[in-house]
Amino acid sequence: MAPGPERCSYLAENVGLLMDEVTTNIQGTARGRSEAPIRARILQAIFERRLPPGEKLTEDRLAELFGVSRTVVRQALSRLAQDGIVEHLPNRGAFVAAPSRADARHVLEARAVVEPEIAGAAACRCDAHALSRLRRHVETEDSARAGGDRGALVRLTGEFHVVLAESAGNPVFVRLLTELQALSSLSILLYARGEHSACPPDEHHRIVAAIERGDAEGAQQLMREHIAHVAAEMDLSEPVERPTGLAQALGIKPRAPRHR
Ligand SMILES: [Zn+2]
């Protein structure tokens, strides 16, 4: 899909729905004809770990729960699939995406290239409105961290990087970051070493401060370090192959069974 206003408003639309509608009216808001509230509810459930990576998303059941047609559910799932949140498997249906460790490493490699550039561009181009949005966003992250709300924190710290891309004023950056961030957040849910978000506390504040000073080089460097810290917070080494049976686990070569 070509970058455009619809894609660029993705985050704002979801944040707005999550903050204003979904959280204030759990039972009622998702019932309706639009796919957007359904998509927002599914996103929230995923990042708050009520729908884990790999979980099946059954169209019929979702249509029944939300009181909408399967067509509307299909539209919601299809938008989530475009953003890398949902995977469609042939003859099996839709599932919450479950990035492998290799997927997560590839995403972090791409972020390490793109995001310092985004931070530098934001320091050059960010206007007062975008800056106050960034500041408000990091304050919301602080509240989630202080309240121990890990699901909200994973979602909000991920969204920070998309808000930053939006403040750089380049829709291609926004499109890239929307996809990279979705996969990153799912990877954090699967592979983070600690109990918190992979974005270390205070680093978003420091990046925003550099942008506020118009310090492009400083913002780039801070972002470079930040992505390295995010990677260090995740266990992305391939798991050691486990023994496939008792004999192998004990290091004993099995003998042919005796027959009496
Ligand atoms: Zn971060």
Q: Give the pLDDT of residue 196.
A: 60
Residues 6+ apart with CB under 8 A from 200: 226, 229, 230, 233
Q: CATH number for the domain including 67?
A: 1.10.10.10
The token pair at 246 is 């008792």
Q: Give the pLDDT of residue 96.
A: 93
Q: Is the pLDDT of residue 105 over 80?
A: yes
Domain of residue 198, residue span? 101-232
pLDDT category of residue 21 using cuts at 50, 70 and 90? very low
Give tens-digit pLDDT for 80-101: 998 888 999 998 999 999 999 9
The token pair at 153 is 């924190």
Domain count, the chain: 2
- ∠ at Cα 140 (136, 146), nearest 5°? 140
Q: CATH number for the domain including 188?
A: 1.20.120.530
- Please state, in angstroms and rounded to a whole number, the distance separating the CA atoms of residues 99 and 150: 20
Q: Are residues 72 and 190 in the same domain?
A: no
How many angstroms does the Cα of residue 147 sit away from the middle of ligand 1?
A: 18
Q: Considering 96, 116, 140, which residue would you say is the last residue of a domain?
A: 96
Q: Are residues 49 and 133 in the same domain?
A: no
- Please state, in angstroms and rounded to a whole number, the distance separating the CA atoms of residues 10 and 38: 14
How many angstroms does the Cα of residue 222 sit away from the middle of ligand 1?
A: 11
How many angstroms does the Cα of residue 157 sit away from the middle of ligand 1?
A: 5
Q: In a 10 Å sphere around its CB, with 0-12 CB exposed, 13-18 middle and 19+ buried, how is residue 89 labelled?
A: exposed
Q: In a 10 Å sphere around its CB, with 0-12 CB exposed, 13-18 middle and 19+ buried, how is residue 63 labelled?
A: middle
Q: How far is CA 87 from the centre of its chain?
A: 14
Q: Is the pLDDT of residue 25 over 50?
A: no
| Full strand arrangement of the beta sheet holding 86-89 | 56-57, 93-96, 86-89
How many angstroms does the Cα of residue 173 sit away from the middle of ligand 1?
A: 16
Q: Give the pLDDT of residue 82.
A: 87
Q: Does the model's pTM come out above 0.75?
A: no
- Please state, in angstroms and rounded to a whole number, the distance separating the CA atoms of residues 223 and 206: 9
Q: Is the pLDDT of residue 30 over 90?
A: no
Q: Are residues 106 and 219 in the same domain?
A: yes
How many angstroms does the Cα of residue 156 sit away from the middle of ligand 1?
A: 9
